[in-house]
């Protein structure tokens, strides 16, 4: 799964990396991005990529209240086309989640050691994501997202049995702009073609990352 991650560059750097319009807003670096926070997301409207902020934890458009989003921070790639909450966003509202690392916890001598997992080749990468728009009874529109997960690549398989689906650079455009409607066979072919980026490494970090209240550069310092 993916329950915490990092994106430690500014909005302009993210927009440049993904070929998106530079947004009017700015935000502080996220050294400990957590569910329910407003986080940067790349979507495509027409032929133009946009950098927007969305709430982490997908709230389906048909939901009666937003609390369901707390349980929908991740979507398994193997079943994404079968789950009612994920099926429509998968077909119609795919997105990229900019990141430069994520956290996982491994058992070491009887306790859980937090690890930061990063790319060995590129500073900023992307998680495959889906999003939806929910409108509250008061008329407030909330855009929210979920991160796809998959089986881990060899370099980090010993840490956890799941990992976020990190897209290789040459698969990002296909994820955003691929067909919106498929038959079941085409869906399985598309999902099967999503080989996750594999050049990853992990290093231990402070247990301060266990609390989402902390957000500072020391969280990504090796210990």
Q: Which H, E and C letters describe the chain, residue by residue?
A: CCCCEEECCCHHHHHHHHCEECCCCCCCCEEEECCCCEEEEEEEECCEEEEEEEEECCCCCCCCCHHHHHHCCEEECCCCCCCHHHHHHHHHCEEEEEECEEEEEEEECCEEEEEEEEECCCCCEEEEEEEEEEECCCCCEEEEEEEEEECCCHHHCCCCCCEECEECHHHHHHHHHCCCCCCHHHHHHHHHCCCCCCCEEEEECCHHHHCCCCCCHHHHCCC
Q: What is the mean pLDDT of residues 11-35?
A: 94
Cα dihedral: 193, 5, 198, 173 (round 10): 40
Q: What is the mean pLDDT of residues 83-102?
A: 96
pLDDT digits (tens, 9 = 90+) for 121-172: 878 999 999 999 999 999 999 999 999 999 999 999 999 999 999 999 999 9
Cβ-based neighbour number of residue 209 at 10 Å: 22
CATH class given for the domain over 5-220: alpha beta
Please report, rounded to a whole number, the percentage of residues in the chain having pLDDT higher than 90.
Answer: 80
Q: What is the mean pLDDT of residues 108-122?
A: 92
Annotated active-site residue in 2, 44, 95, 172 = 2
Annotated active-site residue in 44, 95, 104, 172 = 104
Q: For the chain, what is the mean pLDDT?
A: 93
Residues 6+ apart with CB under 8 A from 138: none
Q: Contact, 93 vs 80, CB < 8 A?
A: no
pTM of the model: 0.96
Domain layout of the chain by residue ranges: 5-220
pLDDT digits (tens, 9 = 90+) for 159-217: 999 999 999 999 999 999 887 667 778 888 888 888 889 899 999 999 999 999 999 99
For residue 95, indicate whether it is catalytic: no
């Amino acid at each position: 799964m993916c329950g915490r991650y990092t994106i430690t560059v500014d909005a302009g750097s993210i927009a440049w990396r993904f070929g998106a319009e530079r947004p009017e807003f700015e935000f502080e670096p996220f050294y400990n991005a957590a569910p329910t926070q407003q986080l940067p997301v790349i979507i495509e409207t027409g032929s133009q990529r946009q950098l927007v902020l969305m709430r982490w934890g997908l709230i389906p458009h048909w939901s009666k209240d937003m609390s369901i989003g707390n349980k929908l921070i991740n979507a398994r790639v193997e079943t994404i086309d079968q789950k009612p909450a994920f099926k429509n966003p998968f077909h119609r509202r795919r997105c990229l989640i900019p990141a430069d690392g994520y956290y996982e916890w491994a058992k070491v001598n009887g306790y859980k050691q937090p690890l930061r997992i990063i790319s060995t080749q590129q500073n900023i990468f992307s998680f495959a994501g889906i999003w939806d728009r929910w409108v509250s009874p008061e008329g407030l529109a909330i855009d929210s997202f979920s991160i796809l997960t998959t089986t881990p690549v060899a370099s980090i398989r010993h840490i956890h049995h799941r990992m976020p689906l990190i897209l290789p650079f040459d698969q990002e455009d296909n994820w955003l702009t691929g067909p919106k409607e498929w038959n079941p066979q085409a869906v399985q072919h598309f999902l099967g073609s999503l080989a996750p980026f594999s050049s990853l490494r992990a290093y231990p970090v402070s247990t301060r990352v266990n609390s989402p209240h902390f957000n500072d550069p020391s969280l990504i310092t090796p210990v």
